[in-house]
Amino acid sequence: MVVNDRWASFEAVLSLDAVRFFFAWANF
């Protein structure tokens, strides 16, 4: 499904942003 794929990609970007934010906070 197109909606499912879009949601999966959105979830992947969201998790990636969370990981980057966590590393930035940990390094600070």
Predicted confidence (pLDDT) at residue 4 exceeds the cutoff of 80: no
Record the tokens describing residue 18, joined without a space: 């969370």
Q: Confidence class of residue 2 from pLDDT cuts 50, 70 and 90?
A: low
Place of tokens 């990609």: 9
Give the pair of three-digit tokens for residue 7: 């949601």
Residue in the structure block whose two tokens are 């942003």: 17
pLDDT value, residue 22 = 87
**pTM (predicted TM-score):** 0.45
How does the average pLDDT of the chain come out, rounded? 82
